[in-house]
Amino acid sequence: MAQLVAAGAPELPEGWFYRVRDDRFGWPEVQIRQPGRWFGSRSVAYAIVRTEEHDDGQTAVIAACVKACQRLHENYEHRRKTREALEFHGDHDPKGGR
């Protein structure tokens, strides 16, 4: 990960890492992975590497790392807003209830 961060990819929390691999269709993708509770890791965000939009592979991978981080933050924001909205769960009587 140090090589990607040195090239411009965002830093990740301690223990998290980037994985560059091919997806199930053979296209390169970047995954942000979080350590598992007991073993292994799980993907928490991803982005397809768009090689056609960049001059070289490294730049394309760094751009995908940035996109994956954006998706990670968007997912956290969505979950935060959902938790806030669910605080109002239940019936709300306009007359104040009995």
Give me the pLDDT at residue 35, please.
Answer: 93
The domain ranges of the chain are 2-86
Continuous H helices in the chain: 2-6, 57-86
- Taking the C-alpha atoms of residue 75 and residue 72, their distance in angstroms, rounded to an integer, is 5
Does the pTM surpass 0.75? The reply is yes
Give me the pLDDT at residue 97, please.
Answer: 62
Give me the pLDDT at residue 67, please.
Answer: 96
pLDDT at 23 over 90: no
pLDDT band for position 98 (cuts 50, 70, 90):
low
Pair of tokens at residue 1: 């990960």
Percent of the chain with pLDDT over 90: 66
